[in-house]
Amino acid sequence: MFDRRKRHRFVERNDVLVRTAVDRYQGAGLAAHTYDLSTGGARIVASKAYPVGTALRIHLRLDGLGQVVALEGDVRWTRPGAGEGLFEIGVEFRRLTSQTVLALIRHLYGRNEGIPTIVS
């Protein structure tokens, strides 16, 4: 099977708070967590499925750094999750700031593999 991803995915759990453009100012948002994460996107496990194309605002807590980064992304796919009432949501990040990209690189590559000299 050919992997079409441009960036390496790291399997790890980080807490996230998900909001849509419609509910971004209402309530606390939907608590969820990542299954895997890269500098270009994430697989998020949540109790709600979002339609493909939905724009999301995500607050991601980077475990280990204690840092929270704000991200915007679009839902690229969704499917039932492993647990009852859970869904897996594939999100592609967009409009990343240089500070956000740097925080993700430090978090993902700074532990065991070292920070790469080229990141696509």
Q: What are the tens digits of pLDDT across the range 44-78?
A: 999 999 999 999 999 999 877 678 999 999 999 99
Query: What are the residue ranges spanned by the domains of the chain?
Result: 16-109
Residues 106, 64 contacting (CB under 8 angstroms):
no
Residues 60, 14 contacting (CB under 8 angstroms):
yes
| Cα gap 32→2, rounded to integer Å | 29
| Dihedral sign computed on CA atoms, order 61, 62, 67, 71 | negative
Q: Which fold has domain 16-109?
A: Thrombin, subunit H (2.40.10)
Confidence of residue 1 (pLDDT cuts 50, 70, 90): very low
Residues 111, 64 contacting (CB under 8 angstroms):
yes
Polymer length in residues for the chain: 120
The predicted model scores a pTM of 0.81
Give residue-wise pLDDT tens across range 75-106: 999 999 887 889 999 999 999 999 998 888 88
